Amino acid sequence: MASKTKYVEREIPQISLHDFEHRIDDISAEMCAAAESVGFFAVKDHGLSEDEVQSMFSVSESFFSLPDTTKATVPWSPQNVGWEKMSQVRPSTGAADTKESYQLQFGENMAQSLKFMHRVQGVSEKLMLCLARGLGFDDDYFVRYHDVSRPDSQSTLRLLHYYETPKTNDGIIRHRAGAHADWGFLTLLFQQSGQSGLEICPGREVVTEYALGDEWTKVEFQPGLIVCNIGDLLMSWSDDRFKSTYHRVKAPSEEGDYFGERYSIAFFNQPVKDAIIQGPKKKYPAVTGEEFNRAAMEKYYGALKEKLKAKENTKVAEMKVLPVEAVA
């Protein structure tokens, strides 16, 4: 059984995009302050209606209600699209997340989903303008590098379905989404009422480190809010000024823990492949968007291999100290 989680109160700033054109400077200041201190913030008055969001959740639930044999006809592919089930293993846990997901890219022939993606992209571009201004770049600097009309666009929409956990705690820790930092630019997350579970753990100071703290803060659902978090790529692009924060979807591991089904939708803003990633102070060498993602994946899988190797070594050590009768 895992040790009891230590929770602390942290403010997750809520930023209104109301009257955006006339309030850009104020909004930019609020957003950059949140990016520097917490790495998470929520936006409201963003222009997306609750009907639009719930309509997309209906699409998601309809897809995940299909038989696995049907969903398997659109399998996860090297193009970073498609369906996966219980296949995402985190370096922090060495175990698969208890979820399934379906990832979409721009250009796919799914009219309702594509319309929603363009609507979220419009919100993202407002956030990009503010973040660029805060870093001293031209207002359209990040927007140009996230042009979803280009064939090498890497932004994606991920539909997520977390499985219900047993009502009786059986001592097994089922990681819904193990602790991780997103490696992209900026993530926009949609949640549903009564299906919270998102938790954050700030404290990572530089993008090249993988240090993880142990004090968590719950991010509860509130209607009309889009929860946003900085990714590793933007942390690097800001010379570590903006923080890529660790987060997870809570695993039922303590007395009384039980979680029903959970659906969420994540929009991952990723720059085009030939984008030049380098902060205004040039703290890190310039790389392309494609090179950054490749390096991030290599780092991720390297950390995962180390975790799995350590777990295997622990198992071997435990077997060696067992009495003969226990292994006979």
3-class secondary structure, 186: strand
CA 190 to CA 195: how far, in whole Å?
Answer: 11
CB 125 within 8 A of CB 144: no
pLDDT given at position 203: 85
CB 17 within 8 A of CB 44: yes
- Write out residues in the chain with pLDDT < 70, as ranges: 1-3, 109, 168-171, 173, 211, 252-258, 311, 313-328
Within its chain, how far is the Cα of 256 from the centroid?
Answer: 27
Can you state the angle between helices 111-135 and 20-37, rounded to 10 degrees? Answer: 80
By CB atoms closer than 10 A (0-12, 13-18, 19+), residue 285 is exposed
**What backbone torsions phi and psi does residue 213 show, to the nearest 5 degrees?**
-80, -175
pLDDT given at position 157: 97
pLDDT given at position 259: 72
pLDDT given at position 317: 45
pLDDT given at position 320: 38
CA 244 to CA 202: how far, in whole Å?
Answer: 8
What fold characterizes domain 7-327?
Jelly Rolls (2.60.120)
Of 302, 298, 322, 321, the closest CA to residue 310 belongs to 302
pLDDT given at position 212: 74
3-class secondary structure, 322: coil
CA 266 to CA 254: how far, in whole Å?
Answer: 27
pLDDT given at position 254: 57
CB 105 within 8 A of CB 79: yes
